[in-house]
C-alpha cells in the first residue's frame, strides 16, 4: 500500500532522514521505533506532506505523493494523528470529529461517528465538552477518532502513548488493535515505547539517527538481542 524509497529530509542544514526505505502492506500494523530525534515524526510528516522531502519516492497505492500538499494527501486516504494530539481546544469533541470529516462529500459521516463513539464510548459521554478540557488520554482518543473520521485507507499514529496515564495507554493500544481488526485498516505506528509497539504490530523498523538499521517481523525484533538491549530494557 505504501512504499518509501531512499527518502531524504532536511531541516535547513540539518539532515533528519538519510535515505530511508520502508514498506507498509495493506491490513497490517507496521511500527517505526527509535530513540528521541531518530527521525520517526519526520518520516510521518514527510508522508503527510507537512515537510517537503529533499529527494526520494513515497508511493501510496502506486502513485508518488512526495511533496504533494497535505490536504491533497488526506484526500487520497492518508490520515495522521499527530504527536501531542493537537486537538482544537476550543471546539467540542463533536466539532473536532466533524473537522476530521471536512473533506468528505459522502453520506456516511454519521455512520462513522457512531463507529468512533462505539470504539471510544468516553468520547460519546463528552460529546459536548470543549476538547481542551479533556484529559491527555481522552485527547489522544479524540485525535485518533478525528483521523478516523476522514475515512482513511492508511492511518498514521505519532506517539499515542506520549504523556498519558499508564492505565489509559493499554486501553489506547487495545483500541488500535481493535480498529485494525474490525475495519481491516492499515496502520503505521510511531512509538518510543518499543515494547508496546512491537506487541501490537506485525512488522517493525528500527530508526537510528535518520537511518533504518533493522527491520523484521515484530516478534523477531522483540527477540533480537540488539533491540532488547537498546530499546526493551535488556
Ligand atoms: P521524538 O520522539 O523526540 O519526536 P523523532 O524520532 O520523532 O523524535 P524527529 O522529530 O523526526 O525525531 O527529529 C529528527 C531530527 O530532526 C532531530 O535531530 C530533530 O532535532 C530535527 N528536527 C525536527 N524538527 C525540526 C525542525 N522543525 N527544525 C529543525 N530541526 C528539526
- pLDDT of residue 233 exceeding 80, the answer is no
Q: Rounded CA gap, 21 and 1, in Å? A: 14
The model's confidence at residue 133, banded by pLDDT at 50, 70 and 90, is very high
Confidence at residue 73, expressed as pLDDT on a 0 to 100 scale? 95
The residue contributing the CA closest to ligand 1 atom 27 is 11
* C-alpha cell of residue 120: 471510544
Rounded-to-integer distance, Cα 234 and Cα 223, Å: 11
Of ligand 1's listed atoms, the one at least distance from the Cα of 34 is 6
Q: What radius of gyration do the chain's Cα atoms show?
A: 17
Which of 10, 38, 191, 192 has most ligand 1 atoms within 8 Å of its beta carbon, as the pocket-test mutant? 38
pLDDT tens digits, residue range 58-74?
999 999 999 999 999 99
Buried b (16+ CB within 10 A) or exposed e, 177-200: eebbeebebbbbbbbbbbebbbeb
- Cβ atoms of 118 and 148 within 8 Å: the answer is no
Which of the four pLDDT bands, split at 50, 70 and 90, describes residue 167?
confident
Work out which ligand 1 atom sits closest to the CA atom of 14: 30
What pTM does this model have? 0.93
Answer with the residue of higher pLDDT: 154 or 228: 154
Taking a C-beta distance cutoff of 8 angstroms, is the pair 17, 8 a contact? yes
Confidence of residue 162 (pLDDT cuts 50, 70, 90): confident
| Average pLDDT in the chain | 93
Residues of the chain with pLDDT > 90, as a percent, come to 77
pLDDT band at 187 (very low <50, low <70, confident <90, very high): very high
Indicate whether 221 pLDDT > 70: yes
How many beta carbons lie within 10 A of that of residue 132, not counting itself? 11
Amino acid at each position: 500500500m505504501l512504499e518509501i524509497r531512499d527518502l531524504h529530509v532536511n531541516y535547513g542544514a540539518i539532515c533528519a532522514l538519510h535515505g530511508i526505505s520502508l514498506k507498509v502492506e495493506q491490513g497490517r500494523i507496521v511500527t517505526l521505533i527509535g530513540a528521541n530525534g531518530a527521525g520517526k515524526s519526520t518520516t510521518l510528516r514527510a508522508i503527510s506532506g507537512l515537510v517537503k522531502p529533499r529527494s526520494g519516492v513515497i508511493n501510496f497505492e502506486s502513485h508518488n505523493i512526495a511533496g504533494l500538499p497535505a490536504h491533497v494527501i488526506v484526500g487520497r486516504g492518508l490520515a495522521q494523528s499527530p504527536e501531542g494530539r493537537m486537538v482544537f481546544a476550543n471546539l467540542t469533541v463533536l466539532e473536532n470529529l466533524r473537522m476530521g470529516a471536512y473533506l468528505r462529500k459522502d453520506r456516511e459521516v454519521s455512520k462513522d461517528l457512531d463507529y468512533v463513539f462505539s470504539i471510544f464510548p468516553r468520547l460519546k459521554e463528552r460529546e459536548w465538552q470543549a476538547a481542551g478540557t479533556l484529559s491527555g488520554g481522552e485527547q489522544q482518543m479524540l485525535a485518533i477518532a478525528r483521523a478516523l473520521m476522514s475515512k482513511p485507507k492508511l492511518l498514521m499514529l505519532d506517539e499515542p502513548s506520549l504523556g498519558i496515564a499508564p492505565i489509559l495507554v493499554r486501553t489506547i493500544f487495545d483500541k488500535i488493535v481493535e480498529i485494525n481488526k474490525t475495519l481491516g485498516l492499515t496502520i503505521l505506528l510511531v512509538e518510543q515505547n518499543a515494547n508496546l509497539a512491537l506487541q501490537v504490530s506485525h512488522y517493525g523498523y528500527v530508526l537510528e539517527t535518520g537511518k533504518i538499521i533493522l527491520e523484521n517481523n515484530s516478534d523477531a525484533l522483540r527477540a533480537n538481542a540488539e533491540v532488547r538491549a537498546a530499546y526493551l530494557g535488556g
